[in-house]
Amino acid sequence: MIDRRLKHGLELFNQGKFYECHEAIEGLWLETDDEYRDLYKGLIQAAAALHQLERGVLSGALSLYRTSTAYLRKYEPRMLGLNVEKLIQDMNHLFSPLAAKGIIKGGEGGSIKEAIQLEYRFQDAKKGRKA
């Protein structure tokens, strides 16, 4: 069973509500010591990186991007129904230009929300194994 806070956090992420996503998943992260703790932390930091990017805090955004992807890598390609591999690829696509040249690549409309969306299927998730 997927925790409702994780579901809610992922929905907020896809709505571009990155700060709210961070808050929703943080409670779960603080309360758990299970094998998914680093997944939650990686998602929290990814959301925080995108929030900082929106605010124009580029050094903070870049730092959070790097740590978020480090936490998320061990859960590739999928975990708990979340396409972790795609999330990392999208984060790399968005942040690599910032790291290299100080330029951000956005989506068609240039917004962060359009540039990155989480792909998840909770019905495919089974506790304790990659889905």
Strand partners, 126: 129
Domain boundaries, the chain: 4-124
Phi and psi angles of residue 129, each rounded to the nearest 5 degrees, phi first: -145, 160
Distance of alpha carbon 82 from the chain centroid = 10
* CATH domain 4-124 topology: Hyaluronidase domain-like (1.10.3450)
Segment among 52-56, 67-71, 81-85, 95-99 with least mean pLDDT: 95-99
Name the band, by pLDDT with cuts 50, 70 and 90, for residue 28.
very high
- The encoded tokens of residue 81 equal 């129904």
